[in-house]
């Protein structure tokens, strides 16, 4: 799984290889275990049942938790998960978590906020784990939140299921096939294309999955629709490459003496931008981006209750729409015009606008953990 996360350019924490705290947790657990009721046998691997009612009824913890959470069947695997969580808190850098006023705070238990990314089917069990962590570890974070993800189904599959590895291989094969059809079959054997295929596959998967709100059901198509649509990650990457090619062409022309070097931005005359598509890029793409970031990045962790939401679909849909607007404009407007002095003013104004568009696309892709491509 870790190798797959690396391919998708996901920086996900891994279990530390240091000495675990499982023995300490086991000792604390055994000191609090309930005796088996009516001689009820425990399942294999279970250490016992622990009452969670006292923690669940604590006013500081109970907001948002299911009132039916009363006890937990504790296993060695569950203690191993708790040990990993403890290590994550122990290695949390001081000052990383802001307080209500926005100032950094220190101390693991006070300054670390635990956000559990959990499927809707497993949330009830995760609530038990939260309460168990508080019960067995006085240094557990004061605040724990849940980011609940909806079910993932596969269209066309008999059981609506597909492993993560199978899904990645399917999308990677589709990306390679599409590239071979466009550029020739030899590109799939060219080592220079290996990294490009990996980035395109990661972009395809991330846009396909993150364009749906995390709480909603995600239906994955087993066809190549996600690699061909103008709403795909590949389409966004393609337009990033077009922008890179545009600016590379300008720089070459400067070296050849066809165009002068780019003047100071303060000297540009933006009143020369008359095309409707230019103002569309500015007012629908560049200017709203900062507000979009604040909406998409905020997990509302300070709000009361157990659940938080993430608006990943806002970023994906914004980047797709910006790419569509740029593509329409670029297909219609010749940005690098004739090398005549009276045309340079409009050309520089257009280039500066497209510089801003490029920065927005790059920043949006960076939020999704994707590097922009300079060519496809």
Residue 86 pLDDT:
85
Residue 263 pLDDT:
95
Give the side-chain half-sphere CA count within 13 A for 10.
15
Kindly state the tokens that stand for 100.
């209500």
How far apart (Å, rounded) are the C-alpha atoms in residues 260 and 340?
A: 10
Domains of the chain, CATH where assigned = 18-90+126-140 (no CATH), 164-368 (1.10.730.10)
Q: What is the dihedral of CA 39, 44, 161, 3, to 10 degrees?
A: 140
pTM of the model: 0.81
Q: From residue 176, how far is each of 180, 194, 226, 227, 371 by CA, in Å?
A: 6, 9, 13, 10, 19
Contact by Cβ (8 Å): 86, 23? no
Residue 97 pLDDT:
45
How far apart (Å, rounded) are the C-alpha atoms in residues 16 and 124?
A: 26
How far apart (Å, rounded) are the C-alpha atoms in residues 192 and 197?
A: 10
pLDDT tens-digit profile, the chain (376 residues): 667 878 887 776 665 555 567 888 888 888 887 655 545 677 887 888 888 888 888 776 667 888 888 888 888 889 988 888 888 887 766 544 444 334 333 334 556 788 899 998 999 999 999 999 999 988 888 888 898 999 888 877 666 678 888 888 989 898 888 888 877 767 777 888 888 888 999 999 999 988 888 888 888 876 655 556 667 889 999 999 999 999 999 999 999 999 999 999 999 999 999 999 999 999 999 999 999 888 876 666 666 788 888 888 999 999 999 999 999 999 999 999 899 999 999 999 999 999 999 999 999 999 888 999 888 7
Residue 102 pLDDT:
40
Sign of CA dihedral 178, 183, 184, 187: negative
Which residue bears the tokens 């009612």?
53
Give the side-chain half-sphere CA count within 13 A for 308.
22
Residue 28 pLDDT:
86
Q: What is the DSSP letter of 284?
A: I
Give Cα 198 to chain centroid, integer Å. Answer: 17
Per-residue three-class SS string for 145-208: EEEEECCEEEECCCCCCCCHHHHHHHHHHHHHHHHHHHHCHHHHHCHHHHHHHHHHHHHHHHHH
């Amino acid at each position: 799984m870790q190798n797959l996360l690396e391919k998708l350019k996901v920086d996900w924490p891994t279990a530390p290889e240091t000495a675990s705290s499982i023995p300490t947790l086991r000792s604390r657990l055994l000191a609090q275990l309930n005796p088996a009721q009516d001689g009820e046998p425990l399942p294999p691997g279970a250490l016992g049942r622990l009452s969670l009612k006292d923690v669940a009824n604590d006013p500081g913890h109970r907001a948002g938790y299911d009132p039916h959470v009363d006890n937990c069947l504790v296993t060695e695997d569950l203690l191993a998960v708790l040990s990993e969580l403890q290590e994550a808190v122990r290695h949390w850098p001081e000052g990383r978590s802001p307080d209500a006023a926005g100032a950094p705070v220190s101390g693991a238990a006070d300054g670390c906020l635990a956000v559990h990314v959990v499927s809707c089917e497993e949330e009830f069990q995760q609530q038990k784990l939260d309460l168990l962590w508080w019960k067995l570890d006085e240094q557990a974070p004061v605040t724990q939140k849940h980011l609940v993800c909806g079910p993932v189904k596969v269209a066309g599959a008999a059981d609506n299921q597909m492993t993560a590895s199978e899904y990645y291989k399917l999308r990677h094969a589709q990306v390679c096939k599409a590239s071979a059809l466009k550029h020739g079959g030899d590109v799939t054997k060219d080592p220079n294309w290996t990294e490009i295929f990996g980035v395109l596959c990661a972009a395809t998967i991330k846009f396909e999955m993150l364009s749906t709100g995390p709480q909603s059901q995600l239906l994955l198509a087993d066809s190549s629709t996600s690699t061909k649509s103008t709403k795909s990650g590949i389409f966004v990457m393609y337009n990033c490459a077009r922008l890179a090619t545009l600016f590379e062409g300008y720089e070459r022309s400067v070296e050849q003496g066809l165009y002068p070097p780019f003047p100071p931005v303060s000297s540009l005359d933006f009143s020369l931008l008359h095309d409707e598509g230019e103002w569309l890029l500015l007012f629908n793409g560049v200017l709203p981006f900062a507000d979009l970031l604040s909406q998409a990045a905020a997990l509302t962790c300070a709000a009361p209750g157990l659940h938080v939401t993430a608006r990943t679909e806002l970023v994906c849909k914004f980047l797709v729409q910006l790419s569509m607007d740029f593509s329409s404009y670029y297909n219609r407007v010749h940005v690098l015009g004739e090398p005549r002095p009276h045309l340079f003013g409009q050309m520089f104004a257009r280039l500066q606008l497209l510089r801003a568009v490029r920065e927005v696309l790059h920043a949006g892709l960076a939020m999704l953990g994707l590097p922009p491509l300079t060519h496809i």
